[in-house]
Chain A
Amino acid sequence: MQASLVETDAYLALDVGSSFTRAFLFDGVEGQYRLIAVGQAPSSVAPPVRDALVGVEQALQDLQHLSGVRLLDEEGALIVPTSATGEGVDVVVGTVSCGRPLRVVVMGVLPELSVASARRVVAGAYADVVEVFTATDAATLEEQVTRLVEAYPDIVILAGGTDKGARHAVAAHVDLLLWAVRMWPLVQRPWILFVGNEALGPQVQKRLGAHYEVRLAPNVRPSITREHLAPAREAFLDIFRLLWATRNPGLEDLHLLTRGRFTLTAYGFARLARYLHRLYAPRGTMLAVDLGDRYTSAVWGALDATRHETWPWGLGRGLTPWTTRADFHETVTRWAPVQKLHTQGGTVADFVHWKALYPSTLPLDDTGVDLEETLARALLQQVRQRTVGRLPRVDFVLASGGVLSAAPQPQRALLTLLDGLQPVGLTTVVVDYAQMAGVLGVLAEVNEYVVVQVVGSAPFTPLATVLSVAWAGKVAPGQPVARATLTYGHGESVPLEVAAGELRRLSLAPGRRATLEVVPQRGVDVGAGPGQPLQRDIIGSLLGVVFDARGRPWAPPEAPDERARLLQQWRQALQTTVQEVAT
């Protein structure tokens, strides 16, 4: 590993988000790559600026100031490669999540085969699948044409047929597209990505090529038992980038600046999540969540079968779809530790509307922080329901996003995560404090050493190892549910009686190791099954080992005062003196 560091390159990673643009500088420090500094500026894709590069330049100036490294020359251009005096950087990479989601129509033969594969091509990208057509579609031709035309897609993914397989269904969908072309003016026509039976590619190109931009990629389902997504994903991403670059001024320049080492933040996040999954729980399951301003991304599952989804909702602009949902307002009000925003009496629901309207603003008081965390809990609950289900056994959690990454104290981030995700069993929790998971995912393709070494440093120090206890039926608060013993590396043991309804913490500093033994009461599940004991070697973290014995599923008390009291009590229980770790 050291061999690659004889001459360290300086890496600049740019992340253009909906609210903020960040610039990360990585360079060698005493033979190891480290994050040197992070510059930040408001994003500038939206009016009045409408040029992503302006926000990038601002973030670079901030980075220059913070790092002391000169990055821009007299004319404001980025210095690449580094000069003899150490100015500038050698490699630039970028991620982006600032645009509106693309509308995608999927066409395939069978819902569970080619259509499912085509959906997986789109999964994780900032895109909505707005309409699906299959060979078993019972609608009349008129209805199908109308559905297709009124879907106004940006991209149509045309799948279907194993190699040498179904021709008729693909031909029918080509016909459908030819009908639609009569109603879409040229400027409204979508790109067509053909990922079906490869033998039909030339024919599809010939029939559709005169009307549409057509791209052919290898079949996503070459046989019934085989799925082959990578080339189709690459082709989809190419089209995606092109469309976003057209619609978001400045992104094309960013593409040039990074020499094409430029992808969606969600893709980078997924890549890093998988890397950390291998590191922290290679034989376990993961749930990684990036709670952004406009989008939420999740990666979950076992290592060899992870799934990735991105939804067009988040904690800022992405709240808008929720503002009209009564059930969402109920959930938020149910979780909020306060009922009134201020003395004049604004409600929690008023805050939701406010946050959707002013996504970039920071809370200026404690109530604001409480309510943003409440919103995060509600959205994390949505993530849990859409991914791992009601009582998830998750061995590793990675969390990113402003509310979690920049929480005033680490225990607040942990409480938000535990309440929202409600894992069961033993879980290692890592928070992406510098919100750089996306760019590290891209950097991994350029130089894996950077990622390996940065991930091993402060910005990725694990937040906690959490033992979440579950049981069926009623257990009175205060009743013992498990006995735990933490044996440190030097031999010292600390016993702990865990009672229902409480949160407890034992210190285990970052870098240290220990063995945790837990013996549950009958019917109590600590991750090994009801009544089964658990013994695991665990690693140190900011908060050490946290015992969450509130039960699963856990719901907050009805009375707001009681909620506020408990929240305060738990924050104190998890209180830490650990210094801030964010850069």
Chain B
Amino acid sequence: MNQGTRELAPGPARPAVNITPLATVERERRLPRPGQVRVAEGRDVNFADVVAATPRRHHIMILDIAQSLGLPPKVARQALRVRAKDRVEQGDVLAEHRRGPFRRRVVAPQRGRVLGVDAQARLLLRIGMEWDEVRAGLNGQVVRVLEPWGVVVRAEGSYIEGIWGNGQVAAGLLRPLTARRSAPVDEEDLGLEHRGVVGVAGYCLDPRVLDRAEELSFRGLVVGGLGHACLERARRAPFPVLVTDGFGPVPMSEEAFRLLTSAEGRSAVVLAEPWDQVNGARPCVMLDLPHISQAERVLPAEQLLAGQTVRVLHAARPGLVGTLLTSQPRWERLPNGLKALVVDVRLRSGQRMAVPIVNIEILR
């Protein structure tokens, strides 16, 4: 392979992680399957509002009308008193047949909706449904409807993106739990004064912290790093748990910690949905601001440019941040023997490092 340098051709940009005090965010809120959009364009929404839903479970009954009436299917169909799409209450007559003084009836065993009848005179009754719902996730406005999938919600405020979330969304007042971004949070750090807050901590390795947070009715927990031992517990937590930087004893990035701790006492929405790399949506914290001017538009990606602040994605050295020295990648063999297309980054420590472009996220 060619070892020389060359211009980076225009094309796919590197992903950007946004941590910004004044941001305008447009967030797609999509169903896993097509369904119904329940809000109109232009409507103001609260983070907890359901904006779209699709059936997940159907509770049904199939009633054999012919057998119940003791009739051939063709005759039984003529005895029907309901049609497809009819709503019925428990006890309503579904089919009725008279012969002389005798009358036979089939009644609805439960409240439901008739979905149809087949040629055998079997009646399909839906008696219940469970839905997959998508909530707005942010306090903002619906700016686009993506029928039949969902909507795009626009929101403004301080904005911090993370890398992992447990699927929950809630809002509460921000409260730092550790004084330093590189400090672990312990069970003892959580007192009654933390009841109902969104806690912010360097990192968490002890699942008992999550037990305690649940006891204190936390509205959210935001940490730089979360240990493997905590992940399963975090998945079961009834409040949102959001990880900003990595897994294990990983400190929170300076930018995120500063922004979150300086907003102590302010209301924050924690949208801790898993990072969907197909749809590009990261888990995030959004702080409402009373008045915003000169808000920066959040971008999921940007092209590499010299001078950009970048995060180096290094499993063994999480939290590495530096400045991109060149956007022109070149093939190079790394010290571990792997060959990669790299760019140069000056780390905050002053060290210069050749980093594969696939290991770079732009820090905005």
Whether A and B are associated in the same complex: the answer reads: yes
Q: How many residues of B contact A (CB 8 A)?
A: 67
The reply on A83 being an interface residue by CB < 8 A is: no
- Indicate whether A408 sits within 8 Å of B338 (C-beta atoms), given known contacts A65-B6, A347-B228: yes
Residues facing A in B172-216 (CB within 8 A) are: none
Total A-B Cβ pairs within 8 A = 181
B358 & A47 in contact (Cβ 8 Å cutoff): no
In Å, the complex CA distance between A230 and B24 comes to: 53
Could you say which residues of chain A place their CB within 8 Å of the CB of B164?
Answer: 353, 357
Q: Are A350 and B278 in contact (CB under 8 A)?
A: no
Which residue on B lies nearest to A352, using beta carbons?
A: B228
Tell me whether B275 and A361 are in contact (CB under 8 A). no
In Å, the complex CA distance between A123 and B222 comes to 43
Once the chains bind, are B316 and A341 in contact (CB under 8 Å)? yes
A353 adjacent to B11 (CB under 8 Å): no
Partner of B34, one of A188, A350, A406: A188
Residues of A within 8 A of B228 (CB): 329, 347, 349-350, 352-353
B347 at interface by CB-CB < 8 Å: no
| Min CB–CB distance B134 → chain A (angstroms) | 16
Within B1-50, the residues touching A (CB, 8 Å) are: 1-2, 6, 9, 11-13, 15, 33-35
Q: Which among A42, A43, A367, A583 is the interface contact of B316 at CB below 8 angstroms?
A: A367
Whole-angstrom distance between the alpha carbons of A15 and B359 in the complex? 22
Which residues does chain B contribute within 8 Å of A100, judged by CB atoms? 278
A323–B231 Cα distance when bound, in Å, is 10
Q: Which residues of B lie under 8 Å from residue A473 when comparing CB positions?
A: none
Q: B74 within 8 Å of A by Cβ?
A: no
Check B34 against A187 for contact (C-beta < 8 Å).
Answer: yes
Q: Are A324 and B232 in contact (CB under 8 A)?
A: yes
Complex Cα spacing A41 to B10, Å: 11
Most buried by B among A42, A54, A354, A408: A354
Q: Are A42 and B358 in contact (CB under 8 A)?
A: yes
- Assuming the A-B contacts A344-B248, A357-B164, A408-B338, are A58 and B9 also in contact, with contact meaning beta carbons closer than 8 angstroms in the complex? yes
Compute how far the CA of A122 lies from the CA of B282 in the bound complex, rounded to whole angstroms. 33
Give chain A interface residues in 39-97, CB to chain B under 8 Å.
Answer: 40-44, 46-49, 54-55, 57-58, 61-62, 65-66
For A349, give the chain B residue with the smallest CB separation: B228
**B56 proximal to A (CB < 8 A):** yes
Whether A61 contacts B11 in the complex (CB less than 8 A), given A347-B228, A363-B338, comes out as yes
Task: Tell me, rounded to whole Å, the shortest Cβ–Cβ distance linking B122 to chain A.
Answer: 8
Closest residue on chain A to residue B120 by CB atoms: A175
Chain A: CB-nearest residue to B279: A47
Residue of B nearest to A362 (CB): B356
Contacts of B248 in A (CB 8 A): 341, 344-347, 350
Chain B's closest residue to A62 (CB) is B9
Stretch at the interface among A129-137, A177-185, A457-465, A532-540: A177-185
A351 in contact with B315 (CB, 8 Å):
yes
Q: How far is the CB of A122 from chain B (nearest CB, A)?
A: 20
A65-B2, A149-B58, A409-B337 are known contacts. Are A364 and B316 too (CB-CB below 8 A)? Answer: yes
**Closest residue on chain B to residue A43 by CB atoms:** B12
A317 interfacial contact with B, CB 8 Å: yes
Considering only CB atoms, which chain A residue lies closest to B313 in the complex?
Answer: A361
CB of B269, distance to nearest CB on chain A (Å): 22
Instruction: Please tell me which one of the listed residues B61, B124, B249, B299 contacts residue A345 in the complex, with CB atoms under 8 A apart.
Output: B249
A61 and B337 contacting across the interface, CB-CB below 8 Å? no
B340 partner residues in chain A, CB cutoff 8 A: 362
**B359 and A361 form a contact (CB under 8 A):** yes
Contact of B62 with A by CB under 8 A: yes
In chain B, what residue has the closest Cβ to A49? B12
Is A364 within 8 A of B11, CB to CB?
A: no
A348: nearest chain-B partner, CB-CB: B228
Binds B, one of A138-146, A232-240, A515-523: A138-146
Answer yes or no: B280 CB below 8 A from chain A CBs: yes
Query: B12's contact among A42, A342, A352, by CB below 8 Å, is which?
Result: A42
Q: Is A570 positioned at the interface, with any CB of B under 8 Å from its CB? A: no
Does residue A366 face the partner (Cβ distance < 8 Å to B)? yes
Please pick, from A187, A317, A346, the residue contacting B247 in the complex, using a CB distance under 8 A: A346
B297 at the interface (CB under 8 A from A): no
Q: Which residues 211-240 of B have a CB within 8 angstroms of A?
A: 227-228, 231-232, 235
Given contacts A49-B12, A183-B55, contact A365 B316 (CB under 8 A): yes
B residues lining the A interface (CB < 8 Å) = 1-2, 6, 9, 11-13, 15, 33-35, 55-62, 84, 115-116, 118, 122, 124, 126, 148, 163-164, 227-228, 231-232, 235, 246-250, 275, 277-280, 299-301, 312-318, 334-341, 355-359
**Interchain Cβ contacts under 8 Å between A and B, 16 examples:** A41-B12, A47-B278, A47-B279, A47-B301, A48-B280, A58-B12, A61-B9, A188-B33, A341-B315, A345-B248, A353-B228, A358-B313, A364-B314, A367-B316, A371-B315, A406-B339
